[in-house]
Chain A
Amino acid sequence: AQSVAQPEDQVNVAEGNPLTVKCTYSVSGNPYLFWYVQYPNRGLQFLLKYITGDNLVKGSYGFEAEFNKSQTSFHLKKPSALVSDSALYFCAVRDIPYSGYSTLTFGKGTMLLVSP
């Protein structure tokens, strides 16, 4: 069975500082990894994904994530945080190969609070 761990319930960072939101995963095969962001009372917005290729993945709004197979991690990063980045962030994993459909397994979410 696949699983995702987001060890931090909340991350606090000052605007302009770099941010990291941690994620580790467990899958039986090779993973598809995703980061989503959720604003209050809204659905999830896709930020970025790792399927294969370069371990450093760049996504929307200046976010990036680094896939580390040996540490089974996929931490989300941004060099300079904005107050508007404050939201709930979810890491998700999907097993491959694709078998008609594959369910996403989500982490519990990490609330990012960026202070002015």
Chain B
Amino acid sequence: GAVVSQHPSWVICKSGTSVKIECRSLDFQATTMFWYRQFPKQSLMLMATSNEGSKATYEQGVEKDKFLINHASLTLSTLTVTSAHPEDSSFYICSATPRGRVNTEAFFGQGTRLTVV
């Protein structure tokens, strides 16, 4: 199956600093990638849709200036949490679907545990 690699798997940062999370599709191209946030024992909340070569589409209530998304190539999307605060601590997961494949499932990264202290 297709592989999505997410890095880092965990990160601890100080309040006020920024953190970048990378999501790479290793063996396929993805025009679109998705970023989710998951709170403990809860479902995935879609934050934004990352579109290669254009601006990301954010879900209602998600601050686009806080969560910067860049999708510079067909295999890489990045999520930068800017001026992180403790309430940003969460589990962040990306996913991607191979370009042009209509009936396929989405493939997920391993997730990133962000802890802001």
Measured CB to CB, the residues of A under 8 A from B are: 32, 34, 36, 41-46, 49, 51, 88, 90, 96, 98, 100-101, 103-104, 106-109, 111
Minimum C-beta distance from A34 to chain B (A): 6
| Given A43-B6, A43-B93, A101-B103 contact (CB < 8 Å) | no
Q: Does B32 contact A (CB under 8 A)?
A: yes
* Interface of chain A, main secondary structure: loop
Minimum C-beta distance from A11 to chain B (A): 14
Contact of B31 among A101, A104, A107 (CB under 8 A): A101
Which residue of chain A has its CB nearest to the CB of B102? A98
Offer 14 A-B interface pairs, CB within 8 angstroms, sorted by A: A34-B106, A41-B91, A43-B6, A44-B93, A44-B95, A44-B108, A45-B108, A46-B107, A49-B105, A100-B31, A104-B95, A106-B43, A108-B42, A108-B43
Minimum C-beta distance from A7 to chain B (A): 14
Q: Is the CB of A46 within 8 A of B43?
A: no
Q: Is the CB of B110 within 8 A of A43?
A: yes
In Å, the complex CA distance between A89 and B30 comes to: 25
